[in-house]
Amino acid sequence: MKTVMLTIEKKVTLTIDGKKVTVPEGTTVLEAAKTAGIHIPTLCYLEDINKVGACRICTVEVNNRLQAACILPAEEGMVVKTNTSRVRQLRKHILALILANHDSNCPTCIRNNNCELQTLANELNLREEIFEREYARHVDDMSPSVVRDDSKCINCGRCVSICNEVQTVGVLGFVHRSDRTKVAPVYDKSLAELSCINCGQCIVNCPVGALREKDNTDLVWEALADKSKYVIVQTAPAVRAALGEEFGLPIGTGVTGKMVAALRRLGFDKVFDTNFAADVTIMEEGTELLGRIQSGGVLPLITSCSPGWIKFCEHKYPELIPNLSSCKSPQNMMGALLKSHYAKMNGLDPKDIFVVSVMPCTAKKFEVQREELEVDGIRDVDVSITTRELAQMIKEARIDFLRLEDEHFDEYYGESTGAAVIFGATGGVMEAAIRTVADILTGQEIEEVNYEFVRGMEGVKEARIKINEDITLNVAVVHGGANITALLDKVKNGETDYHFIEVMACPGGCVNGGGQPIVPDKIKMEINVPVERAKALYRADSAVKRRKSHQNPMVKKLYEDFLGEPNSELAHKLLHTTYVNRQ
């Protein structure tokens, strides 16, 4: 007889603001209040990431004692008050002390109207300065991607936790002691001098304007005003799943048509879709994978479209550089094709073409400057801006985004498949690759295209995909630095037998990139932002007729008329690259 052991979850009941609440043992008071619909303000808190009780804004009163709710375990019979006079007064004084060390010039701040500190001051009715203001101003803008402004830092530690625990990059930390304590890179160096991967996760998790992307919008405006330039814009798949948030639309609203219309009104000569290049990437990378499998090449093949991941690999796992796909990212493939094939097709001088990419990613700003990413002395991409920067340009141009009628991308380089659009979510590159590789290996058009086992937000996903009786592909999908480290240590130690690994530096993939709209933590506690944005991409995928990259008619024509075949000599010259050992 089999014995089944049942584990009974122990519960505790407490009273919060007169309301009885029953929660599992180990739940914090903050979490218990949330289940009861009671809002306790927070600032340093990041759900599942930063629970340190540093700022004390979440202070509550328990048995006449004031304690931080985010680190206080709920106990049986506990009586909690979240809105007493003592609590409100303490929160207000804490906030006033924070503001005394903060540059509060809100109208000119990048986070004006989307600042958690500003929101708290309004909610707590703080209308005057209680303490004399004193702060030091030091701006580190040497990085091509991330700008750090000490005068706005409130020492909440969110960026430190993200950088060290979630991304395992470790370039940010607390330095000095007592009232001199501050957040800074090691040895007070610039981020540009360290192993920062430019992922921008510190930016999207900062509650204030202490971290922001390097603003390149002036370069774009300048190019648009230059009559000698033929200015082309390309947009990444994840941008269309998030841009609407900047104009008040719900998280996960797809806005492809309005985005295209807005870009035309900004004055771009052509509006193309990076999805076209994503389809090309699958042709190149899929062929590279098959070649390595059939010829005994270096395995596993690891994807190369996430520039944050590439820099992470160059710094921390240079021994795995031979495993990286030599394919450029879709951003740079598109740029190289526009300045070669498109230029030739339209009688343009490549030197007159100015390529702007709109990306969900701050690391793309670093990527476009890489020495390797040019052909015959011509840069693939001239400027990369984030989703946030595009939104700012649309607002600056006084375009009424919500009232725009949907428009389509321009022809040829605006053509793409469903496989390309899911590149923006973790697992999307893998699924797109499988759709094409399975057809090539079997010589058939396989009807099944939804490989849902590689979807979702689980940190590491593994699968054995039986293509036919003779062929099984062992694959893995991983996102976020801590998960990447755990998986790659196994690869490095020979503990795996994968053929193919998809890696994305940002948790959740590009939909959660460092250049996407910033969502306050209060909303993140209610909505899984990467999941909702990913849904928009999967809806777009399922809505189109062609869902495999090799079915894209314009990609077929590109190879027939220009490249020859995937991994040809010309394709390698334009679409492939090399990497640098940065250890």
Residues 45 and 138 in one domain: no
Phi, then psi, of 473 in degrees rounded to 5: -100, 130
User: Which tokens is 474 given?
Assistant: 């062992």
Asked whether the beta carbons of 259 and 235 are under 8 A apart, the reply is: yes
Q: Say how many C-beta atoms besides its own lie within 10 A of residue 403's C-beta.
A: 8
* 368 falls within a domain: yes
| DSSP state letters, 8-48 | PPPEEEEEETTEEEEEETT-BHHHHHHHTT-----SS-BTT
* 583 falls within a domain: no
pLDDT of residue 238: 98
pTM to 2 decimal places = 0.95
Residues 463 and 400 in one domain: yes
Residues 475 and 347 in one domain: yes
pLDDT of residue 8: 67
Q: In CATH, what number is assigned to the domain containing residue 338?
A: 3.40.50.1780
Q: How many domains does the chain have?
A: 3
pLDDT of residue 441: 86
DSSP 339: I
* 5 falls within a domain: no
User: Which tokens is 230 given?
Assistant: 């033929």
Helix (H, G, I), strand (E, B) or coil at 504: strand
Residues 205 and 238 in one domain: no
What is the rounded distance in angstroms from the CA atom of residue 69 to the CA atom of residue 23? 15
pLDDT of residue 483: 98
Residues 248 and 200 in one domain: no
User: Which tokens is 171 given?
Assistant: 């370039």
Q: Tell me the C-alpha to C-alpha distance, in Å, between residue 211 and each of 43, 129, 184, 204, 539.
A: 16, 24, 11, 8, 33
Residues 234 and 193 in one domain: no
* 354 falls within a domain: yes
**Domain range for residue 58?**
11-83
What is the rounded distance in angstroms from the CA atom of residue 334 to the CA atom of residue 341? 10
* 91 falls within a domain: no
Residues 342 and 407 in one domain: yes
pLDDT of residue 5: 58
Residues 531 and 391 in one domain: yes
Residues 476 and 525 in one domain: yes
Q: Mark which of 38, 61, 83 sits at the end of a domain.
A: 83
Asked whether the beta carbons of 276 and 364 are under 8 A apart, the reply is: no
Q: In CATH, what number is assigned to the domain containing residue 37?
A: 3.10.20.740
Ordered mean pLDDT values, 10 residues apiece, the chain (583 residues): 63 96 96 95 93 94 96 97 96 94 93 96 90 84 97 95 97 85 89 97 97 98 98 98 98 98 98 98 96 94 98 98 98 98 98 98 98 97 98 98 98 97 97 94 88 94 86 94 97 95 98 98 94 98 96 98 98 98 95
Residues 42 and 125 in one domain: no
Residues 31 and 115 in one domain: no
* 90 falls within a domain: no
Q: In CATH, what number is assigned to the domain containing residue 149?
A: 3.30.70.20
* 3 falls within a domain: no
- Spell out the alpha helix ranges (H) of 377-528: 387-396, 418-421, 428-442, 481-492, 521-524
3-state secondary structure 324-353: ECCECCHHHHHHHHHHHHHHHHHCCCHHHE
Beta strand 353-359 with 383-386 is parallel
pLDDT of residue 252: 97
Residues 168 and 248 in one domain: no
Nearest to 241 by CA among 479, 431, 511: 511
* 581 falls within a domain: no
For the stretch 119-159, pLDDT in tens is 999 999 998 888 888 787 889 999 999 999 999 999 999 99
Rg (CA), the chain: 25
Q: Mark which of 59, 83, 107 sits at the end of a domain.
A: 83
Q: Kindly list the catalytic residues.
A: 285, 288, 305, 325, 364, 367, 372, 510
Q: Mark which of 213, 235, 261 sits at the end of a domain.
A: 213
Phi, then psi, of 399 in degrees rounded to 5: -85, 130
What is the rounded distance in angstroms from the CA atom of residue 564 to the CA atom of residue 543? 31
